[in-house]
Amino acid sequence: MNPDSGTIWTVIVGLGIGTYLIRFSFLGLIGGRELPEWLLRHLRYVAVSVIPALIAPLVLWPAATGGETDPSRLLAALIALLVGIWSNSVIGAIAAGMVTLYGVQYLVA
């Protein structure tokens, strides 16, 4: 079933308005006000919870392998985690993970 272009554009415009309203609720309505301490304390953990939720499926069920767990991706994620903890550097963790992933894939293939 292929939706017609009117339906597609309705969905696109609706999602655009929805995301604008979500952002406006923080920036426009409460952007100039002081936020309560309990809310600021909770907002500190947003990135800590969102980033692993985005990365875990890409490591455990990558599309490149048809959804099968790949040992090279698991090793690269582990190395990136360890380098990130050891060095406190996001760029270092990303670089170590990339070098590990491509290095192991090169050696295996």
Identify whether the C-beta of residue 69 lies closer than 8 Å to the C-beta of residue 61: yes
What pLDDT is stored for residue 33 in this prediction?
81
Using CA atoms, how far apart are residues 4 and 1, in angstroms rounded to an integer?
A: 10
**Length of the chain, in residues:** 109
What the block records as the tokens of 105 is 């894939």
Spatial neighbors of 35 by CB under 8 A, at least 6 apart, are: 43
Q: What is the mean pLDDT of the chain?
A: 90
26 vs 83, residue with greater confidence: 83
Grade residue 109 by pLDDT with cuts at 50, 70 and 90.
Answer: confident
**This prediction's pTM:** 0.62
